[in-house]
Amino acid sequence: MRAAPRDEASTRRASPPRSFFALLFVALAAPFLVRMAGTSVGTYSMFTSLRRYRLELWADDARVRPTSLRAHLGRDAARVIAVPDAGSIGETNVELLGADLEAIVELVCRLHPAARRARARLSVAPLGSSNAHPQIEERSCAGSGP
């Protein structure tokens, strides 16, 4: 008899809510769903796609050193973008940088208002390989004044 009042509340507490299986699916599937979406963000794929990269920038035909952008970048962006000419090593951040060339070229345009065109070239190669795949972004600077 003593145990009888137990506990409707406790039984309720012990039963998961209706949304439990939906939440369980999210917990289990999230890293695989983002991987299927074609990104390594959120996939916990540490160290599996390390690459050496090099970012080169031009305003018209004049080289713009990535380090010269430092004051215009946040700390974390500077760590990835404002690296020496020899380039650096990265993984997910290289993927994110590759998808950000348009914004970087836009920044070069705004910093060089006299330039007619700006260009970025990102060369990416797997560690230990010299077979770099360049990715190029170029745009007209018209109307990009500071």
Partner 1 sequence: MNAAANALDRLAAAARGIGRGEISPASYAWIRVGLAALFLLRVSDVFRPWIDWDHHLWVEGVDWSAATQARAAPRLDSPLLPGFSIFLRAADLLNALRIAGATLLLVGVLPRLCAATVALASFALMGADRYHYFHHLYLLYVSLAWLAFCPSGDALTVVPRTTPPRWAPAWPLTLLRAHVCAVYAAAGASKLNATWLSGESLFQMERAGLAGGHLWQLGVGVVGHRGLGWLSCLVELGLACALPVARWRLAAVGVAVLFHAFIEVSMMVSTFGLTSIVLLSAFLPWRARDEREPDAALSGKDEG
Q: Which of residues 108-137 bind partner 1 (CB under 8 A)?
A: 110-111, 126-128
Kindly tell me which of 104 and 115 has the beta carbon lying closer to partner 1. Answer: 104
Report angle CA 141, 106, 138 to the nearest 5 degrees.
Answer: 65
Structural contact between residues 117 and 138, judged by C-beta atoms closer than 8 angstroms: yes
Q: Take residue 44 and report the two structure tokens written for it.
A: 């916990």
Q: Which of residues 6-65 bind partner 1 (CB under 8 A)?
A: 6-7, 10-11, 13-17, 20, 23-24, 27-32, 35, 41-48, 50
The string of DSSP letters for 93-111 reads HHHHHHTTHHHHHHHHHHH
Helices and strands (DSSP H and E) totals, the chain: 5, 5
Interaction site with partner 1 (CB under 8 A): 2-3, 5-7, 10-11, 13-17, 20, 23-24, 27-32, 35, 41-48, 50, 69, 71-77, 79-81, 89, 92-93, 96, 99-100, 103-104, 107, 110-111, 126-128, 146
